[in-house]
């Protein structure tokens, strides 16, 4: 029986390992074969498979894109109403960066693309439950193969609806489970002595989507009351339940401990005397379900008209 030399045996093992690794390794995704094909995003969801998280933040599919090569893509800007060009930078394997974010390219074909948006801190990749999956279909595939529309495909699915219904019931039973309403609570005056103004957030125009989300994630209102019993200004968070009932939650700013009880009593009195009697309150809702949500109220009372 012939003896296999140790060096030859090692060489054969290494060659086998290299061959297996080469076979198992997925090829680097390429956009070359899908150039100029227009895609529309039809679904955006968390790792959970839902498009809504526990706090009420709702993912919305909105991308329209087409690739102009392996190193460039154009994405439609709703603000500028035109396609904007972006360079594509390939890091390694299926990891790419474009439009100022990092993505794992999970699937590329002429009919569809699946991306996984991830967070990268320095050189570390953070992947977990907060990762977002984006599914895009080619416009031609939507129109001619599955014969539907982008608008219909973008609607939240039954799992989203069931989850929001569950959270709405939970928030109605446990006030601390209140979550942001996609359609925030609204306040309509019943009297000429009271008026409300919703405060819309402002910020860097390049971060416009943050403002858009902030508008419903943390709704904020100014309420002006004329002919009040005295001049006052109170800022506090309140819970608006699924029936439109307002309940004091906590103050927006810190107060000295010795004044908390008195100020809380006054704030609750303002709610009971003015807000409940002079306002029609429409509760916040998500996917058609009214539910408890938290609002920030700045109530300004004046003995004379402002």
- Residue 306 placed within a domain: no
Last residue of a domain, one of 123, 155, 187: 155
For residue 147, being part of any structural domain is answered with yes
Q: How confident is the model at residue 126 (pLDDT cuts 50, 70, 90)?
A: low
Is pLDDT above 80 for 127?
Answer: no
pLDDT on residue 202: 72
Asked if 280 and 188 touch (Cβ cutoff 8 Å), the reply is: yes
> Domain range spanning residue 60?
27-155
The structural domain count of the chain equals 2
Same domain, 32 and 59: yes
266-291 per-position pLDDT tens digit: 999 999 999 999 999 999 999 999 99
Question: Which of 12-16, 101-105, 236-240, 260-264 has the lowest average pLDDT?
Answer: 12-16
CA-based torsion, 54, 56, 57, 61: positive or negative? positive
Q: Whole-angstrom Cα distance, residue 264 to residue 81? A: 48
Q: In this model, does residue 228 exceed pLDDT 60?
A: yes
Q: What value does the mean pLDDT take over residues 93-122?
A: 90
* pLDDT reported for residue 254: 77
**Residues whose CB falls within 8 Å of the CB of residue 264, separated by 6 or more in sequence, listed in order:** 248, 251
pTM (predicted TM-score)? 0.83
DSSP E strands in 70-226: the ranges are 72-77, 82-87, 89-92, 95-98, 101-108, 112-121, 124-126, 132-138, 186-189, 194-198, 220-225
* Residue 12, in any domain of the structure: no
Say if residue 17's pLDDT is above 50: no
Please tell me whether residues 293 and 225 are part of one structural domain.
yes
Convert the pLDDT of each residue in 30-85 to its tens digit.
999 999 999 999 999 999 999 999 999 999 999 999 999 999 999 999 888 999 99
Burial grade of 177 (CB within 10 A; 0-12, 13-18, 19 or more) = middle
Average pLDDT value over all residues in the chain = 87
Looking at residue 39, what is its pLDDT?
98
> Is a pLDDT exceeding 60 seen at residue 12?
no
Q: Is residue 54 a part of any domain in this protein?
A: yes
Banded model confidence at residue 204, pLDDT cuts 50, 70, 90:
low
Beta partners for 258?
none
Statement to judge: residues 183 and 294 lie in one domain:
yes
Within this chain, do residues 138 and 197 fall inside the same structural domain, yes or no? no
């Amino acid at each position: 029986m012939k003896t296999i030399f140790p060096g030859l045996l090692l060489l054969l093992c290494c060659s086998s390992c290299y061959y297996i690794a080469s076979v198992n390794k997925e090829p680097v995704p390429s956009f070359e074969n899908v150039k100029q094909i227009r895609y529309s995003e039809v679904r955006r969801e968390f790792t959970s498979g839902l498009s809504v998280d526990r706090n009420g933040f709702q993912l919305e599919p909105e991308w329209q894109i087409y690739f102009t090569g392996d190193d460039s893509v154009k994405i439609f800007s709703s603000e500028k109403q035109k396609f904007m060009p972006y360079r594509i930078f390939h890091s390694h394997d299926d990891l790419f960066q474009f439009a100022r974010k990092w993505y794992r390219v999970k699937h590329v074909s002429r009919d569809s693309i699946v991306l996984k948006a991830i967070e990268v801190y320095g050189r570390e990749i953070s992947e977990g439950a907060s990762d977002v999956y984006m599914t895009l279909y080619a416009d031609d595939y939507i129109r001619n193969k599955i014969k539907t529309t982008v608008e219909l495909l973008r609607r939240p699915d039954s799992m989203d609806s069931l989850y929001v219904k569950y959270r709405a019931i939970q928030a109605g039973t446990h006030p601390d489970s209140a979550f942001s309403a996609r359609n925030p609570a609204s306040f309509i005056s019943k009297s000429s002595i009271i008026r409300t103004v919703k405060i819309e957030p402002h910020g860097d125009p390049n971060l416009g989507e943050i403002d858009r989300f902030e508008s419903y994630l943390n709704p904020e209102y100014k309420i002006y009351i004329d002919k009040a019993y005295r001049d006052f200004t109170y800022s506090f968070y309140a819970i608006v339940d699924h029936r439109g009932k307002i309940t004091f939650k906590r103050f927006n700013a810190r107060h000295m401990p010795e004044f908390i009880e008195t100020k809380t009593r006054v704030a609750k009195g303002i709610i009971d005397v003015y807000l409940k009697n002079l306002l029609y309150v429409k509760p916040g809702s998500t996917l058609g379900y009214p539910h408890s949500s938290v609002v920030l109220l700045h109530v300004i009372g004046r003995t004379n008209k402002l």
